[in-house]
Amino acid sequence: MKKIYLYGNWKMNMLPEEGEEFCRSLADRISGRLYGSDLVDICLFPPFLAIPAVLKALPAGPVSAGAQDGYFEDRGAFTGAVSMTMVRSVGCSHVLVGHSERRHIFGETDEVVAMKLKKALNSGLKTVLCFGETLEEREGGKTIQVVQDQLLSAFQSVPEVRARDLVLAYEPVWAIGTGKNASPDDAQEVCAFAAKLALEAFGSGSLIPVLYGGSVKDSNAAELLSRQDIYGALVGGASLKVDSFLAIYENYRKAFTG
């Protein structure tokens, strides 16, 4: 049984007081052996304005908090933007980069993603680089090519000494928020490919975990997470309630321990 990364992306949900309430109920649920830091690594990604409340209420144990995005400049005339330095300075340890909603709704290109990735890693943040194909690309047989292009363009900007702070998240665009997850075989194939590219780029000194995201929930978690190259889940919808969020990890464990 491997250590599982259970990452919750709240997207544009949760007011500060709701985030605080979530943390209180999370604290009640995770005390005990099942949640040792050698078994699970939990990170919450609240909207910016809820981050301080969440950080304050974060339970002890293997739980941390991060931002859903950050800009590549430190400061200046960038209305509406929040820099990676700011993310770090409020106490976040993690950040997401290149989420498909940033790419597709907000028009972020591979170049912008690469610049954010570099800045995030240089700011000392553990950085989750999201990547994945659209339905059209999958149906056109282009998944591996698209994933390779996204990853290689991003990898070029990774400072070598910082590679150990990189986490990859394979999130097929068509599986996000649709209730339609990738099959465990398909997810495993792409995660294994991503792990291979990371190994070629950074060597075996930096073990870079690859997570799967896209409609992960309690009922599909055990099958997905038990695949060899899937080290965890980036969870959207099911991360908004403590029970459905933790059930993802607990069901995986149950599949091994009975």
- 132 binds ligand PGA, rule: CB under 6 A: no
Catalytic-residue membership of 99? yes
145 is written with which tokens?
A: 């090519």
Catalytic-residue membership of 18? no
Total residues contacting ligand PGA by CB under 6 A comes to 13
Query: Mask of contacts with ligand PGA, 9-38, x by CB under 6 A?
Result: x-----------------------------
CB-nearest residue to ligand PGA = 236
Single out the residue of 14, 214, 220, 230 in contact with ligand PGA (rule: CB under 6 A).
214
Single out the residue of 215, 220, 230, 245 in contact with ligand PGA (rule: CB under 6 A).
215
Q: Name the residue nearer to ligand PGA (CB basis): 132 or 201.
A: 132
Write the single-letter amino acid at 81: A
Please give the biggest Cα pair distance in the chain: 56
Q: Name the residue nearer to ligand PGA (CB basis): 122 or 236.
A: 236
Which residues of the shown chain bind ligand PGA in the complex (CB under 6 A)?
Answer: 9, 171, 176-177, 213-216, 234-238
